[in-house]
Amino acid sequence: MSDPFPHEVDEALWDEACRRAEAVREFLKNRPGKMTAGDVALLATELAISRATAYRLIKLFRAGGTVMSLVDRRRGRPDGHRVLDDQREEIIRTTISRYYLTRNRPTVSQLVRDVQTNCMSAGLKPPHRRTIKARLEDIDLQKRAKRRGETES
């Protein structure tokens, strides 16, 4: 995951990172030698974080030495990030378009089986059911209704 630039960081997160950086800087300045678990516990209490997080912040600050190194980042994949290869994405897209976005659409379970069968026929590992459902949910509701022949009543 790439690090954000300071102007891309939420102001509240930046302020918290500055507060943490100042506390960690003072902590390290006052303890040039070894630090004890009790010292780290005091830092954790001062910052209202767990002791494990305090150790992590110290490690990050020693490695980076900047406020940016202490900015909280969201965990996991960014929203909208896809990990499937293009071939499987295309199989999902065409199967949904050809079979699901029709008047006589199959159930989601049948769609999942069709996608998995098409992937196995192409010699690819089939995607998980949740992946296929996520692609269905990404389709605009109006587009979905129009393709199925549904009209506003």
Q: CA gyration radius for the chain? A: 25
pLDDT tens, position by position, for the chain (153 residues)?
445 455 566 788 888 888 888 898 888 888 877 888 888 999 999 989 899 988 988 888 888 778 877 776 666 776 667 778 899 999 999 998 888 888 888 899 999 999 999 999 999 999 999 999 988 888 777 777 776 676 655
DSSP state string for 24-40: HHHHHHH-SSPPPHHHH
What is the pTM (predicted TM-score) of this model? 0.50
